[in-house]
Structure 1
Amino acid sequence: MVTFLPSRPGRLADVPSFDRAIGGAESNVACVLAAAGHRARWVSRVGADGFGDHLVAAIAAHGVDTGRVARDPHRPTGVYFRTAGERATGADGEEPGTAEVVYYRAGSAASAMTPGSPGPAALAGARVLHLTGITAALSDSCLDMLRALTRRTPDRPLVSFDVNYRVGLWHGRPQGPETLLDLARGADLVFVGEDEAAAAWDLHGPAAIRAALPEPAVLVVKQGSEGVTVLHREDADGAGPGAADAPGPRPAAPGPEAGTSAGPPAGGGAGTPAPDTVTYAPALTVDVVASVGAGDAFAAGFLSGTLRGLPVFDRIRHGHLMAAAALTVPGDLAVPPPRALADRLAALPEGDWGRLRLGPGWTAGLHDARVEAPQT
C-alpha cells in the first residue's frame, strides 16, 4: 500500500497535510531483508496507476526483486492513512494510545489475488516464504491463496507466518480469529504478539499460545517492550537445507545457550511434537518515535538470523535490533544496522545489552550513530 503519514501530530480530522510513504507488512519485511544483505522477492498486485508506479519503484530501490508484481488495469493500488501510536488489538479499536488507522483497500488490486497468483516461478528457489494474516483479511480469494500456501507439501520452502491481527480489516467477518489460528497451524515459523493472542483467541502467555499452536517448529511470542519468548524444537535450527547464506556445511544445531530452558512436550503419546526449548531475550531500551513497522522489522531480523543459521537467542537479538531501527523513525521502514555492527551488538553480555539505549538516527551510519554504549 501507499501510506500517508500526518505532517504534524493530531487527529486525522485535524491534520492538514500528509507525507507519502510505502507500507505493507510483507513488503516491509522484504525491504529490510534486502537492506540486510539477503536476496528478497516481493510478490503482489498493484494498480496500473501512479501509486502503483511509486510502490514498485520504491520497493525495488531497497534492493527487492519486484519482477513478479502484477499490474491491474481495473483495480486501484490500496492506500491508508494513519497517525502515530500503537495499533489497536481490542474489539473496539479505541484503546488508549492507539493510532487512528483508515484503510482504503476494498476492491484494491492486491485484494484480487487468488491461489494461482504467485505461480510456481515466483516461488522457485525460495528458502523462506513469508506471509501475514493481513493478506488473508483482504478478500475471500486472498484467504484461499493463504490456505493454499500454508498447505503442508513436501517440496515447499520454510513457511513463515506473522499473525498480524488487524481488527479493522476483519470487520463484519467474525471468523477472522479462527481463520488466523488455522493458517498459523500450517506454518513452520509463526510470529504473534502476546496482546494479539489475547485479543484474537483469549490465550494468555507463551505456554497457552503454544498449546493452541503445537504444529509450527518455531513459535515467536512478542511481549512488547519486555522482550520475546521463542518456543522451538531442536530440529528448527535453520530454513531447511542450505539455509545459511554463506557456502559450506550447515551449522550444527546450537547447544545450551543463555536464556534457554527445556520445555515440556505439547502433548503425550505417539505422533506428538518433540519437547520445546524455550528461549527468552529481553528487548532494548529505545526512544520510540513511532511503533508502526517494528513488528515487520523484528520478523526480518529473526528471519535474517534464521537464513544465516544463527542460534535462536541470536536471532531474537537481531530481531530486537531491527525493531529498534524501525521504532526510531516516523515511517514503516528504517535503515537497518550494518551486519557487522548488528553482530557485535547481538553478542554483548547480558548486562551490557541491558545498558544500551538507542535513539533516533542511531542507524544512520557508524559515524553518526547515536548509541549510548555501556561503560565497561
Structure 2
Amino acid sequence: MDDPAILVAGETLIDFLPAQPGPLSEVESFSRRAGGAAANVAIALSRLDTPPWFLTNVSTDGFGDFLGETLTENGIPDRIVTRSAHPTTLAFVAHDADADRSFTFYGADSAGGHLDAGVVSDDTLDRIEWLCVDAPVALAAEPARSALLTLCERARDHGCRVAFDPNTRRELWPDDATLHETLDAMLDRTDVVKTSIEDLDGTSFAGDDPADLAANLFAAGPHTVFLTRGADGSRAIAADRAPWGTVDVSHSGYDVDPVDATGAGDAFLAGVLHGLAGDESLDEVLAFANAVAALTTTETGAIDALPDHEAVTALRKSRSE
C-alpha cells in the first residue's frame, strides 16, 4: 500500500441502535455497532480505495477489542492506533418516526478523550496532504482537545491542509464557553470545514443564509465551506483565497429510500476528502460525496452501511451523471 495521503483523527466508539423508534425510555432492545465520527470517516475512505492513517485511542475493554477488530477488518493501519484502560464511549441512539435522531453518551473519562497525538511523527506529517478532525467526543475532553489542537498546528507547519467537521454534540461539553473557545481555536487552524446550518446554530458563526454562514466561517479561518442539507443535497462555497478560487456550487442529492441516517454526514466528509485528495473540481466533489452519504442511509448503522467505490459509481450512473 502506498503511504496514505490523509490522516483522520478522532474517536472510535460503540453505537447502540434502537430496535424501534421512540424515546430511550420506551426502547427495550438495541443492536451493537462500531461507530464514532472519525472511525466512520476513516473506514469510509478505506472502502473508497483511499485508506488513511487513523489516529484514535481504543479501550482495552471488551468493546475495545471489538472496535480494534473492526478497524483491522476494514483495512485501517494500526500504526497510530493506541490502546488504553479507559472505558469505551457508548452512544445510545434514539429516533422518531421521521428518522430524526438524538444521541445519549455514556463513558466519563473514556478512551476517546485520551488521544495521544505524539505518536504522529514529523515524517508522517511530511508525507500526508490532509489532516481531518471529526471528533465530537475527543474535542470535548482533555487531554484529547489540546492534543488535537497541537496536531493541527504541527500539520500546517508541515504544509498539510486541515479539514474539520464541528459536529457539535452539545451534551458532551462541560459548558458553552469551552465549546465556543474550541470552535474558535479549531477554525483558526482549518482550511476546509464541513458543517450545516443546524450544527452551528447558537454559535457566533450561525447564519440562516448559507452565504452569510460561509462568510462568518471565512472570517474565522477556513477558505472553503461544505454545507450539507440532508435530503436536499449540499453546497460548496469557497473564498477567493482558496486554491481553487471563488466557487459557489450546489448538488441536489440523490433520491434513495432511507433507513437510518447515522453516519451519513461522516460518509459525506469521507467523499469530500476522497475528491479533494484526487484534485477533483468542487462540483465533482459534491456529486461524489452526496452519493456516498445517500447510500449510507439505505442500511442500518454507520460502518455497516458505508459503500465501496463501485456502489457509488453505480448510483451515479443510474442517475445518468
Q: Given that residues 295 and 312 in structure 2 are in contact (C-alpha distance below 8 angstroms), is that contact kept between their aligned partners in structure 1?
A: no
Q: Aligned pairs, how many?
A: 305
Partner Cα separation in structure 1 for residue 311 and residue 230 of structure 2: 24
Partner Cα separation in structure 2 for residue 106 and residue 336 of structure 1: 29
Query: Match of 2:87?
Result: 76
Q: Does 1:9 align with 2:21?
A: yes
Q: Compute the RMSD of aligned alpha carbons.
A: 2.7
Identity %: 26
Query: Match of 2:55?
Result: 43
Following TM superposition, by how much is the alpha carbon of 1:315 offset from its aligned partner in structure 2, in angstroms? 0.6
Partner Cα separation in structure 1 for residue 77 and residue 297 of structure 2: 25
Structure 1 letter corresponding to 2:254? L
Taking structure 1 as reference, are residues 171 and 343 closer, same or farther at Cα in structure 2, changes over 3 Å only? same
SS of 1:5 mapped into structure 2: strand
What is the TM-score normalised by the length of structure 1? 0.73
Select between 27-36 and 127-136 the one with higher mean Cα deviation.
127-136
Following TM superposition, by how much is the alpha carbon of 1:277 offset from its aligned partner in structure 2, in angstroms? 1.4
Partner Cα separation in structure 2 for residue 329 and residue 344 of structure 1: 17
Which of 154, 158, 164 does residue 161 from structure 2 map onto?
Answer: 158
Q: Given that residues 275 and 284 in structure 2 are in contact (C-alpha distance below 8 angstroms), is that contact kept between their aligned partners in structure 1?
A: yes
Following TM superposition, by how much is the alpha carbon of 1:78 offset from its aligned partner in structure 2, in angstroms? 1.5
Taking structure 1 as reference, are residues 308 and 335 closer, same or farther at Cα in structure 2, changes over 3 Å only? farther
Structure with higher RCO (Cα < 8 A, 6+ apart): 2
Query: Match of 1:195?
Result: 198
Q: Given that residues 44 and 307 in structure 2 are in contact (C-alpha distance below 8 angstroms), is that contact kept between their aligned partners in structure 1?
A: no
Residues 1-376 of structure 1: matches in 2 within 5 Å?
1-73=13-85, 75-84=86-95, 98-113=100-115, 116=118, 118-120=120-122, 123=125, 125-151=127-153, 153-201=156-204, 202-214=206-218, 215-233=221-239, 236=242, 276-340=246-310, 342-343=312-313, 345-346=315-316, 352=320
- Name structure 2 gaps, 5 residues minimum: 1-12
- Name structure 1 gaps, 5 residues minimum: 87-95, 238-252, 254-274, 354-376
Structure 1 letter corresponding to 2:73? A
Partner Cα separation in structure 1 for residue 176 and residue 117 of structure 2: 20
Select between 175-184 and 277-286 the one with higher mean Cα deviation.
175-184
What is the TM-score normalised by the length of structure 2? 0.84
Runs of 4+ in structure 1 deviating by more than 6 angstroms, as ranges, are none
Structure 1 letter corresponding to 2:16? F
Higher percent of residues as helix: 2
Following TM superposition, by how much is the alpha carbon of 1:235 offset from its aligned partner in structure 2, in angstroms? 7.2
SS of 1:200 mapped into structure 2: coil
When Rg is computed on C-alpha atoms for both structures, the one with the higher figure is 1
Query: Match of 2:4?
Result: none
Q: Deviations over 1:282-303 (max 9, x none)?
A: 1212222111100000011111
Q: Given that residues 43 and 122 in structure 1 are in contact (C-alpha distance below 8 angstroms), is that contact kept between their aligned partners in structure 2?
A: no
Structure 2 letter corresponding to 1:227? G
Following TM superposition, by how much is the alpha carbon of 1:55 offset from its aligned partner in structure 2, in angstroms? 0.4
Q: Deviations over 1:153-172 (max 9, x none)?
A: 34142211011011211243
Partner Cα separation in structure 2 for residue 129 and residue 48 of structure 1: 26
SS of 1:197 mapped into structure 2: coil
Query: Match of 2:7?
Result: none
Taking structure 1 as reference, are residues 340 and 107 closer, same or farther at Cα in structure 2, changes over 3 Å only? closer
Query: Match of 1:363?
Result: none
Taking structure 1 as reference, are residues 178 and 54 closer, same or farther at Cα in structure 2, changes over 3 Å only? same
Following TM superposition, by how much is the alpha carbon of 1:19 offset from its aligned partner in structure 2, in angstroms? 1.3
Query: Match of 2:10?
Result: none
Select between 293-302 and 305-314 the one with higher mean Cα deviation.
305-314
Following TM superposition, by how much is the alpha carbon of 1:335 offset from its aligned partner in structure 2, in angstroms? 4.8
Structure 2 letter corresponding to 1:220? F
Structure 2 letter corresponding to 1:13? S
Q: Deviations over 1:74-122 (max 9, x none)?
A: x112112112359xxxxxxxxx964342111321122123553544466
